[in-house]
Amino acid sequence: MTEWFERSAIELADLIRRREVSSREVMASFLARVEQVNPSVNAITAVLAERALAAAEEADRGEPVGPLHGVPLTVKENIDLFGTPTTDGVAAFAELMPALDAPVVQRLVAAGAIPFARTNLPELGLRLDTDNPLRGRTANPWDHTRTPGGSSGGEGAALSSGMSVLGLGNDIGGSLRNPSFCCGVVGFRPTMGRVPTAASAGPPDGALCGQLMATEGAMGRRVADVRLATTLLNGAHPRDPFSVDVAFERPAPPRRTAAVVVPAPGERWSSAVAAGVRAAADALAAAGWEVEEMELPELDRVNEIWMRIMSDDIPGLVAALGPLITPRLVEVLMDHTTLYDLAGIPPMGVYPERARLMRRWTEMFERHAVVVGPVWPEQAFVAGADMDQGIEMVARTLRHVTPAALLGLPAIAVPTGVVDGLPVGVQVQADRWHDAWCFEAGRDIEAALGSFTPPI
């Protein structure tokens, strides 16, 4: 059997469109790959083989319906996919069925994609590792003792190991970018409001932290695949009052300038992470970008305000859902509220400070089209360390991930290589609504440094 799972989503769509391969053959290749790999990785939580093969056969009988015609798609288990439960990684939600697809699923299905499997996440999507009592632990395909990242860790592991070619996840604290970094794939957090979020399983409207900072997004193995998916997901939807219509395409930056992040005083990155940032900077310079090193403005304050907004909502979340999740996760979540003196800034003072920081970073982007820096300060940690080591470790790991969430910025995670058997990578951020510039830089990094497949 031809290993169709090794191709990109765009390549597969083109082959299917030209009838050089059938959608059914492609789907069968991915289903076989899941059967081969998933027992050791546990990234896929449910396989929808019968319905996916039927949809693939229907795609083969008809004319192409969109740019992803006949291409397999995986969907994280906290995004509504009709006919399958939206478990959120919680045992009590094992049979929580949505009334209809989420808008992001609707849009990729309308473009021809075929959902064929669900992917794992931690309970409520609130960890940097992927493990829960309902579905169990997902392993990093590169090293099964390491985390695949969270919370879209099932997607990251499925993509990395060839069980998926394109996936849907979400991000409030790096949940698209964390697993992309850990597993060596591509994940993109769009500008807040560009991609709609809506649920029919459970409460339709989330907490304030989610309304301000959580977004759906795409993951894949190639920058071009994730870019295509993002253009298809783009735009307002009536079920999401915060979603907006803003064109994805932008004029090229007046100057292709890239700021390359350097560690702040007292901040330490592993040598592997630092080498990845340098490799990305060299790739951009070779592609004609003007590269300049800089420290990020007020990074400590950005992290503090992100944590304060999250912490304001945690007690209510624990009160409502604490009995449904593991006691240790409840303890770790409540530890978030102790990291800062929450009385030090009254709640109504947090949001003006957020606005000030948004302006501060926009000033930076007036000088630099994109900013390139680390995702995490170290490579994928040993599984479970986020629970064992507590909030200080979590906060340190998220230090470069939280700005995009707090400030509503687009950010793409792109792999840069493999060191000591584990992937490393960088993230590229741009100002709000300049998502296309992230992909421009990400494309140049990928072209120079390639993509990576673990030894499965």
Predicted TM-score (pTM) of the model is 0.98
pLDDT digits 0-9 by tens, 389-432: 989 999 999 999 999 999 999 999 999 999 999 999 999 999 99
Share of the chain above pLDDT 90, in %: 94
Distance CA 104, CA 80 (A): 9
Report the amino acid identity of residue 349. G
pLDDT digits 0-9 by tens, 294-319: 999 999 999 999 999 999 999 999 99
Name the average pLDDT for the chain: 96
- Report helix, strand or coil for 423: strand
Residue 1 has pLDDT above 60, yes or no: no
**Confidence category of residue 455, pLDDT binned at 50, 70, 90:** low
Residue 284 to residues 7, 337, 372, 444: CA-CA distances in angstroms? 25, 40, 10, 6
pLDDT at 168: 99
pLDDT digits 0-9 by tens, 201-227: 977 778 899 999 999 999 999 999 999
Report the amino acid identity of residue 137. R
Distance CA 154, CA 119 (A): 5
The mean-pLDDT minimum among 109-123, 160-174, 271-285, 332-346 falls in 332-346
> Taking Cα atoms as reference points, which of 77, 332, 73, 74 lies closest to residue 202?
77
Residues of the chain with CATH 3.90.1300.10: 4-233, 257-449
DSSP track, 259-328: EEE-PPTT----HHHHHHHHHHHHHHHHTT-EEEEEPPTTHHHHHHHHHHHHHHHHHHHHHHHGGGS-HH
Residue 32 has pLDDT above 70, yes or no: yes
CATH topology of domain 257-449: Amidase signature (AS) enzymes (3.90.1300)
Is domain 4-233 classified as CATH 3.20.20.450?
Answer: no
C-alpha count within 13 angstroms, C-beta hemisphere, residue 341:
3
Q: Which residues fall within 8 angstroms of residue 338, CB to CB, at 6 or more apart?
A: 391
DSSP track, 327-356: HHHHHHHHHHTTSS-GGGS-HHHHHHHHHH
Q: Which residues does the annotation mark as catalytic?
A: 76, 151, 175
Residue 366 has pLDDT above 60, yes or no: yes
- State both tokens at 165: 């070619």
Residue 2 has pLDDT above 70, yes or no: no
Distance CA 322, CA 339 (A): 20
Outline where DSSP puts E strands in 123-212.
166-171, 186-189
Distance CA 139, CA 158 (A): 10
Q: What are phi and psi of 425, to 5 degrees?
A: -170, -175
Q: Is residue 64 within 8 Å of 17, Cβ to Cβ?
A: yes
pLDDT digits 0-9 by tens, 271-286: 999 999 999 999 999 9
Phi-psi domain of 70 (left: phi exceeds 0; alpha: psi -120 through 50; beta: other): left
What are 294's strand-pairing partners?
A: 261
Share of the chain above pLDDT 70, in %: 99
Q: Which residue has the tokens 């500008």?
A: 191
Q: Where are the alpha helices (DSSP H) in 82-165?
A: 103-110, 153-160
